[in-house]
Structure 1
Amino acid sequence: MTGEFALREHTADVAVEATGESTSAVFAAVADGLASAQCDDVPATGGERFSVEREAEDLDGLLYDYLGRLIYERDVRGVLPVDNDVAISRIDDEDAAQAAGGDENQYRLEATARGVDLADVDAREVKAVTFSQMVVEERDDEWYAYVVFDV
């Protein structure tokens, strides 16, 4: 499952536009776009993989929460999350919702990323993900996402 992304200029911010064959692929592509927005040359090796798990009621909220978590991990761990791998599942039954803490969340994300030490890259700061103009939708047999980041 692979997705593609492109950086788009957006006034004083930066946007990532991505496509993928599945929600998992498009989420991973947006996360890779976030890394690209922060660093022109990502090292092909180095860094430890770490995990991220999130749940949300809808795909927009899930993407927002996931990308915000990657920015948090960057700040706390001092790493640039790259080579993102994402698996998204839907929580369809009541037992699964109760196992998730009783919430009525509908989507679960399990992801990993390779954390490249920020000391090893020339990184620009992306401050936050925004809901401004965010799109996550299926279009003609592929998934599409557009996300604006505050820089």
Structure 2
Amino acid sequence: MLRACHERIAAQCATLEKLSAHLLSHGADEQAQQAARNIMRYFDVAGPHHQADEENDLFPMLMEVGQRQRSSITELIASLLEEHRSLDAGWAQLRAELVDIAQGQVRPLERAWVDSFVGAYHRHIAVEEGQVLPFAEACLDRQKLEKLSAAMVARRTMPLQ
């Protein structure tokens, strides 16, 4: 599920880059407005769920194992947690611009912000998929993986009203 989330993050980042280019030639047309809404929906809802999956469930499990094994994974996770805060700040900057675009206001996205945000996410995902997830697969037993999966599903399950 975490890898699937990373794929969706990468897809939203690609849409963000396309939107940036689209705005220059087409302005905040209906297609741009819809793209802005879709990006905001993802990073406002699914993005925080993904971070919570990592911060509340996966990372604590890995920190426990890493401390027992005296693994450098503990320092890597600490770094990833700092990156989450940086990614949140980058998202806050971009979101303010996307709100205007979603409402049809013609304004270009700050290209440096887009490039910084997308680049940071690509690097972040590469570290997680290259180092953290393989460590998790090697160290977490079936019971812990089931606990992780159940927490992730519960986080996304909306109560019926």
- Same-fold call, TM cutoff 0.5: no
More helix by share: 2
Query: What TM-score comes out, normalization by structure 2 length?
Result: 0.24
Task: Report the TM-score when normalising by structure 1.
Answer: 0.25
The structure where strand makes up a greater share of residues is 1
Greater radius of gyration (CA): 2
